[in-house]
Amino acid sequence: MPVPKHTSDIFEILSKGQFICSNSCKDSTRKLYNIIDDNFDDLYDYFKSINLVLEKGDEYFMFTRMEHKTELERKLEAAFRWIDILDFFKTFDHSFGAGYRFTPSDVLVKLSVDVDLKNKLDGLKKYAAGKEKHAEILDKILDMLKKDSFIELENEITNSYKTLASFHYMERLIISVNIPESVQNEISK
Amino acid sequence: MKTFSSIYQLLATLSREQKLLSELFEKRKILSFSYDYALELVDFDADKISSLIDLSVVRQNGNNIELDDLFLQFFEQVMEVNEEINVSYINEHIESIRQNINYYLQENNEARKYGYLRQVKQALRKIGVIALRNVVDLSRNIDNTFKNEPNYKIKKTKLEHLDDKRNAIYTLINRTDHLVSGDEELTFFKVAADEELNRTIILVKLQLNECRHNLIDIQKQIIEYLNRIKHQSGVIEKLRQIKYLKDQFELRSKTNIRELLAENTAVIFEPNPSYPLQISLDQLQSDNDAADVISKVAKKIKTSVKSTQPLAGNISDEYLETRIEEEVQINLDEVKNSFLAGGNNLFDFICNYDFGKEVSFDECVTIYCQMISQFDTLFKITDNYNLKEDIEFAMVYPK
């Protein structure tokens, strides 16, 4: 089966649970995105033979597995963490989403004028063990998002981050949670 | 209230105060433009401002000053920056065309007929231009609203409102089209059609067509924007509910998140994999770089714990004390020398030799044997035997 020569690079990134996004700042990643886009069927078959499913999302690619491998608890933990983090950033700016650019200092400035945001950051403290300062907690959170390739450091000098298309995945996950109507009514009370 | 008596006066006034007016126009969004600032712009001549107020070019509101609505609208429309989309103009013009057509048909005087015709043409031209401008304004406003309005609810309402405007423009365009196609006023367009009217109608039709195409695109744009807002606010709304449930520790029990995640097999949930592969031995042995790597690794795994040599315990002082034990040794060499110097036979010599200690007969025998075995070359061993205390011994003499 002919596969592009970048297949190993693609595997390297995706097998770590990261995404390949079309709006990445890195040239190499964008190139990989285009390569996957052009050879999707070949790569899909190729990875399928090693039990990995290449999935195409809204402007991103990712791997899923054929069988269940991870414990439910672990997934729940990750999902809960994302909910908290997503909630924090959506409070920071409603339009926070794929393609959004920001710097940590933007967030820190907003902290001083938005008590709600500050409380939510305090709530995130549990994910940044041992950190007390706001800037440190935020850095830790950003680091986590960076590792999961939801955001990327776009400019090292200005320390500005860019949200990647993989953010759609997080949003999709949230959207797909089904809340029964009776519970919804309860909440809106 | 004074009015301008001629267009010349109007233009002259406007051009004289162009500094102030252009400043007022630029700052029209800012609610308060102070009278004092205005004074500075007209070289502190209060009369100039009061004359503008008299002519109702500007309006004074307490200590603030602003452009009169009439001029503001005029400027905005001419400069194509107006934000209000007013569809009533088109409506008015359509009405006026209808009326003028009516007058035209009833009028007998040729000259006046021609006047009505001219008004119809004018109105038609205006409709085309106004429609086109409205479309441009609409698209700009939609874009602005989507990008700049921070409040989601207002943004949504504004876009919906603009969508209504789009609908209204579309209806008016259709009405105008209907009118100029000559479906309604068949007689007029048959009778009055001259070269110019035909040209105008074609032009208007072209413009309307362009508007229609633009409107289709605008509609698409609005739908997309509204969808995006819906998605955004949908996400936020959902997130809010989920976060609430999570904080109440009810997320697991009240939603399907467990089932959802149970089905989710994304690799992102897995811990980072490591692939502990064995090293190829062939490569290790043949590769030059491998040696460097090995020495590097070896350096790294050097333990910081120093291995201690097992030490023996202290030597007890008892062992170090000097103890003297004397033992008299018989120096066979000395005995031999003495023997060689004398002429006695060996056995008797030994028995009589002063060894410095008591020497038993048995020992004498031993010494005798030792001497012979060691120094036999120096002795002359004869075949004569002697007997002493039951021991027979050979007679040995020095050579």
Are B261 and A72 a contacting pair at CB < 8 A? Answer: yes
Instruction: Parse chain A into domains and list their residue ranges.
Output: 7-65, 72-176
Residue A153's pLDDT is what?
92
Q: Which residue of A has its CA nearest to B237?
A: A175
In this structure, the strands spanning B379-388 and B58-61 are unpaired
Are A64 and B267 a contacting pair at CB < 8 A? Answer: yes
- Write the residue in A14, A19, A83 that is nearest to B242 by C-beta: A83
Residue B1's pLDDT is what?
66
**Per-residue pLDDT for B84 more than 80?**
no
Q: What is the mean pLDDT of residues B8-20?
A: 87
Assign a CATH topology to domain A72-176.
Arc Repressor Mutant, subunit A (1.10.10)
Predicted TM-score (pTM) of the model is 0.52
Q: Which residues of B touch A84 (CB under 8 A)?
A: 243, 246
Interface of B with A (CB under 8 A): 152, 232-236, 238-246, 250-252, 254-258, 260-262, 264-270, 272-273
- Write the residue in A17, A87, A174 that is nearest to B268 by C-beta: A17
Q: Which residue of A has its CA nearest to B247?
A: A84
Amino acid code (one letter) for A58: D
Are B269 and A90 a contacting pair at CB < 8 A? Answer: no
How far apart, in whole angstroms, are the C-alpha atoms of residue B387 and residue A99? Answer: 131
Are B238 and A175 a contacting pair at CB < 8 A? Answer: yes
The H or E element that residue A23 is part of is: none
| Tens digits of pLDDT across chain A (189 residues) | 678 888 888 988 888 888 999 999 889 999 999 999 999 999 999 999 988 889 998 889 998 888 777 788 888 888 888 899 999 998 888 788 888 899 999 899 988 888 888 888 988 888 888 888 889 999 999 999 998 889 999 989 999 999 999 998 988 888 888 888 887 777 765
Q: Could you report the per-residue pLDDT of B37-60, keeping only the tens digit for each?
A: 888 888 888 888 888 888 888 888
How far apart, in whole angstroms, are the C-alpha atoms of residue B125 and residue B118? Answer: 11
Q: Sheet containing A20-21: which strands, arranged edge to edge?
A: A20-21, A60-65, A52-56
Are A68 and B262 a contacting pair at CB < 8 A? Answer: yes
Buried b vs exposed e over B145-177: b needs ≥16 C-beta within 10 Å? bbeebeeeeebbebbeebbebbebbbebbeebb
